[in-house]
A and B are shown apart, each in its own frame.
Chain A
């Protein structure tokens, strides 16, 4: 299958080769993920960030749900919905990310939690990890950080 470039322009041979390899890699990873049907919850108050993170996950075949505040995230988990992965921002409306993370962990939920935030300080990192996230990632969430985690989840 010939790869399609977003702009639809005439591609150079090198572009075609690079895009072909990239598309092939993504295809492999998507097949793995679809086989395991991973699910993820994205918690971010900013629409741009939430939409982008959800779409990134979906491009790897992860089924996602998004909420825009901490209280709704906690309520959703409390209702019994299970996720393999939770992506959560630190600063959230209604209930902040630190407190939401603590409450989710207190419920006995052990799934992988990624704290993805624009905060970059060491104290913020320590606080988020202490609240219960497994990994602290400074925004933006990119494939470099996400793919190894998806592979790990797939292997379980």
Chain B
């Protein structure tokens, strides 16, 4: 596939993420920050976010695996993920964090 076609495919993919609510306006702000002085900024910050998020999600899964879940420990991880996902425009992930916090508040492991 040639470069132009790949670029179009990427653009369409990102557009569909906006339409599905996976990404929100905050991501557009970040795209707007990329310029000739920061040519790979979007890619770099996404990589940064994904590495951090992977680590946090692993911790969340580990915490949820225990018989007696330490909800306050879990909460601090979810809070951190909520902060970074909202900063990068990962809308659905941010909402999922909010839901998880609420379920965790209710001490509802099933939720």
Which residues of A approach B to under 8 Å, CB–CB? 4, 6-9, 22, 45-49, 51-53, 55-56, 59, 89, 91, 117-119, 139-143
Residues of B within 8 A of A56 (CB): 29, 33
Residues of B within 8 A of A118 (CB): 79-80, 82-83, 86
Residues of B within 8 A of A55 (CB): 33, 38, 41
> Chain A at the B interface: mostly helix, strand, loop or mixed?
loop
Question: In the bound complex, how far is the Cα of B29 from the Cα of A55, in angstroms?
Answer: 11
Question: In the bound complex, how far is the Cα of B15 from the Cα of A28, in angstroms?
Answer: 30
Question: In the bound complex, how far is the Cα of B89 from the Cα of A119, in angstroms?
Answer: 17
Within 8 A of A (CB), among B17-62: 25-26, 29-36, 38, 41-42, 45, 48-49, 52
Contact partner of B45 among A8, A51, A59, A139, CB < 8 A?
A51
Known contacts A48-B84, A118-B82; decide if A7 and B11 are in contact (CB<8 Å): yes
Q: Judging by beta carbons under 8 Å apart, are A6 and B82 in contact?
A: no
Question: 10 new A-B pairs (CB below 8 Å) besides A4-B36, A55-B38, A91-B80?
Answer: A9-B7, A46-B52, A48-B45, A48-B48, A49-B84, A53-B87, A59-B33, A91-B79, A141-B87, A142-B25
Task: Tell me how far the C-beta of A58 lies from the nearest C-beta in chain B, rounded to whole angstroms.
Answer: 9
Question: In the bound complex, how far is the Cα of B41 from the Cα of A92, in angstroms?
Answer: 25
Which of B42, B45, B80, B87 has the largest count of A CB atoms less than 10 A from its CB?
B87
Q: Judging by beta carbons under 8 Å apart, are A7 and B29 in contact?
A: no
Residues of B within 8 A of A8 (CB): 7
Q: Judging by beta carbons under 8 Å apart, are A7 and B7 in contact?
A: yes
Residues of A within 8 A of B86 (CB): 118, 139-140
